[in-house]
Amino acid sequence: MSLRASSSAAVLLALFVASTGGAAVAEPAAAGGPAVVLITLDTTRADHLGAWGWPHARTPNLDALAARGIRFARCDSAVPITLPSHATILSGLYPPRHGVRDNATFVLAESVETVAEGLAAGGFDTAAVVSAAVLARRYGLAQGFRLYDDDLAAGGAGDPDAVERRAAATTAAATALLPTLRRPYFLWVHYFDPHEDYAPPPPYAAQARGPHAAYDGEIAYMDAEIGRLLAALPADATVLVVGDHGEMLGDGGEPTHGLLLGHGARRVPLLLAGPGIPGGRTVDCLTRTADVAPTLYRLAGLAPPAGLDGASLLPLLDGDDCGRTSYAESFLPFFAYRWYPLRAFSEGRWLYVHGTRPGLYDLAADPAESRDVAAEQPAIAGRLAALLKALLAAMGERLEGKVSAERALSDEERARLESLGYVGGGAGGEVRHDLPDPRDMVGVAADVHRAAKLVRQGRCADALPLLLGVTRRDRYNFPAYNQAGLCLLEAGRLRSALNAFERAAQVNPQSAVPLKNAGNALLRLGEARRAEEVFARAFELDPISPGVASNLAALLRGRGAAAEAAAVLERAFAAGSRHPGLYLERGMLAAARGDVAAAFDDFLAAAERDPHNPVPLDNAAKAAELLGRPQQAAELYRRSLDLDPGRPALWAALATLYLQQLGDRDGARHALEQAIAAEPDPGRRARLEDFLRQLDPGS
C-alpha cells in the first residue's frame, strides 16, 4: 500500500475529462461525488447471457444494463479461480504480481494496493458484500474497505458451515448498507450463485431450458436479484459488472472450472453503464479483468497507480487503445494435483496456450477454440511463446522452475507454525517438463469431480472405488485422497481415513482441510491429544476453516487450558470467522468462569447461526434459568424440543420449570405427557406417570 496525497475527487474528475477528450464521464458528479458500484458475477461465462446471444438466457436486467451502457464483448479473465481472479479485479495486477495463485492457501499481501485502498485514500467511502467463503476477509481482499460483509451465515442461513450466500441474501445485505454510505462511495457486490451445485430456486428452475438449464437457471436467479440491487442504487450510480471466470460445462472434458483456460472459463461478461457513458455500444477490442481496477480509478476521478498490468477501459470508448494482449494462468492443477500449470497469452486473433506442449487457436476463424493449429503455424506459436516468456520475465517469473506456494504469512504466523514443528512452503515445488499436462488429465479430474459430487450426495459406496482408482493412476491427487478419507470416515474405517487425510496433507501441506478432517477422525478414535495437535496446525494454516477453531478450543477447555482456548477463539473472531461453534465454545468458557450473562448471549448467537442444532438452545435455556428468567428459559426449551422431541429428560426439566417457577400446571402437564411418550425405559416412564398423577390429583 502506498500513500497518496488525498485530493478532491471533483478536481481529479475534471482533469480526467480533459485527458480523455471529454467523451466519457463528462457529466458533473452529483452532490457529494460519484457512486461507483462494482458487481462481480462468479462462474458466469459471457456466452450464457442474453446480451451475448445465448438463446436460452433469461437475463433481462444485465441485458438492459448492456443496452444503456457499453458491452465489452471480449473480456479475458486472468485466472479461472475465485480468489486469485478477484485479487486481479481489485488490484489491476496479474497473479504473478499480486501473488495469489489459488483459493484458501494464499492471502493477498498487505503490500498490494487494491482499488478500494486507492479510492479510500482519494476520499471515497468503501464497502463490500461478498457471497463465498473463499473471499472472506482473512484472504486479504478486505484491504481498503470500511465495511466488508463476509458474514455468510448471518440471519440464520441454516448451515453453520455455509460457504455461500444466495443472491437474495446478497442483495438484501447490499441494499441494507446503501443508506449508510456517504458519497463519494465505492461499493463492491459479489454474487456466487452460478457456481456448482446448480440448484436455482423456483421459479427459475422450472423456467430454464436448453442443454445447461440448471446452470442458466442460477444465472437467471442472480440476474433477477441484480435487478433488485440496480433498482435500489441511486439513479446516477456508475455500474461496472464483470465475471470472475466462466464455467467449462464439458468443453475440453472439464465440467466446471479451475483446470483449463478455454473460452468457457476464460471469457467473462464485462459491462459498464452510468452518467456520461454512451448507451447501447459494443466494444470488440480484447479486454482483461485486470482492466477493471484502473477503470474504477478513472471513474472515481483518480489516477491509477503506475505499473498496473491492466489499463483503463475508457479510452476504448473513443476507439483508442484497441490492441491489448491478455495473460491467463491456472495453478490449481499444480497445487492440487502436481500437474503442469497452464498459461495462456492472447494477441489479436491468436490465443497461445502453454502447457507441456504448445497450443494455438485462431479466434477469428475458430471462436470455439476447437482446433489447435500450433503445428500448422509454428512461427506464430513461437512468436507468442516468446511474448509470454517476456511478459513473465517482466513479472519476475519463468515458465518452469521452482514455484513458491508460500502464502503471505506474517512473521508471527510463520513463527507459530514453526513452533508447532511445522514449516510451510513444502507444497508447490518445481514446475518440470515431465509433469502431466492438465489437458491430458481431464478424465482424472472429471472422475474426482464426479466422486466429490457423489460424496456430497451421501453416496460413498459409489464414490470410494472411483477415488481409489484415481489415487492409483495419479499419486499426488490431493482432492482424491481427501475425498476418499471422508468416505472412509463415514464408513467408520477411522484408521484408513486417517491414513488418507495424512497422505492428502503430505501432498498439499498448505491446506488446512485434510488436517481438519484428520482431527475429526482422531476425535472419533478418542485420541484427544493428537487431535489437538492437528487442529492446531490446521488453525495456523487457516484460522477460519469451519470447525477448526471451535474443536481446538473445546479440546483445550477439556484439559483445563481455558486461557489458551479463549485465545484461539479470539484469534478466529479477529480473522473474521463467525462460525456458530465459536460462540458456543466462548459461551462454555464464560459459563465455566461464572459469567452466565455473557454465556447466555453467546449461546443465543450460536443458536441463531445454527438454527437446526438444539445444543446451543439447551445451553441458552439453562443460562436463562440461572439468570432468573423462567419464561425465556421455557421458550428456549420448547424451541430446542421442536428440533429434537425425543429427549424425555429435557421434557421433564421443562415440566419442573413450568410447575415450580411459572405455576403453569397445563404447561407442566403437556411437557410430562411428551416426556412419557418419549421415554423408552419402563421404570423411568412409571415415575413420570406418577409425577403426572400427583399433578392432577382429581383425575
- Closer residue to Zn ion (CB): 87 or 512: 87
CB atoms within 10 A of CB 31: 6
Binding site for Zn ion (CB under 5 A): 42, 82, 244
Supply the minimum distance, in Å, between the C-beta of residue 98 and Zn ion.
16
Residue pair 602/579 in contact by the 8 Å Cβ criterion: no
The terminus-to-terminus CA distance of the chain in angstroms comes to 79
627 vs 612: CA distance, rounded Å: 25
49 vs 558: CA distance, rounded Å: 54
Supply the minimum distance, in Å, between the C-beta of residue 45 and Zn ion.
11
Supply the minimum distance, in Å, between the C-beta of residue 375 and Zn ion.
34
180 vs 607: CA distance, rounded Å: 28
What is the three-class DSSP state of 498?
A: helix
What is the three-class DSSP state of 334?
A: helix
- Closer residue to Zn ion (CB): 86 or 579: 86
399 vs 433: CA distance, rounded Å: 10
Long-range Cβ contacts of 649-652 (<8 Å, 24+ apart): 649/675, 650/618, 651/675, 651/678, 652/688, 652/691
Residue pair 442/260 in contact by the 8 Å Cβ criterion: yes
- Count how many residues are written for the chain: 699
**Burial group, residue 690, by CB count within 10 angstroms (0-12, 13-18, 19+):** exposed
* Set of cell numbers at residue 96: 504473478
Residue pair 53/66 in contact by the 8 Å Cβ criterion: no
Q: State phi, psi for 438 to the nearest 5 degrees.
A: -55, -30
- Closer residue to Zn ion (CB): 134 or 153: 134
- Closer residue to Zn ion (CB): 39 or 360: 39
- Closer residue to Zn ion (CB): 290 or 671: 290
Supply the minimum distance, in Å, between the C-beta of residue 78 and Zn ion.
12
- Closer residue to Zn ion (CB): 29 or 219: 219
* Set of cell numbers at residue 45: 461465462
Supply the minimum distance, in Å, between the C-beta of residue 330 and Zn ion.
12
247 vs 457: CA distance, rounded Å: 22
Supply the minimum distance, in Å, between the C-beta of residue 105 and Zn ion.
16
Residue pair 200/221 in contact by the 8 Å Cβ criterion: yes
- Closer residue to Zn ion (CB): 133 or 655: 133
Supply the minimum distance, in Å, between the C-beta of residue 103 and Zn ion.
9
Residue pair 346/380 in contact by the 8 Å Cβ criterion: no
- Closer residue to Zn ion (CB): 42 or 223: 42
- Closer residue to Zn ion (CB): 332 or 497: 332
Query: What sign does the dihedral 673-675-681-685 (CA atoms) show?
Result: negative
- Closer residue to Zn ion (CB): 261 or 569: 261
Supply the minimum distance, in Å, between the C-beta of residue 287 and Zn ion.
18
CB atoms within 10 A of CB 210: 13
Supply the minimum distance, in Å, between the C-beta of residue 167 and Zn ion.
14
* Shortest-Cβ-distance residue relative to Zn ion: 82
Supply the minimum distance, in Å, between the C-beta of residue 244 and Zn ion.
4
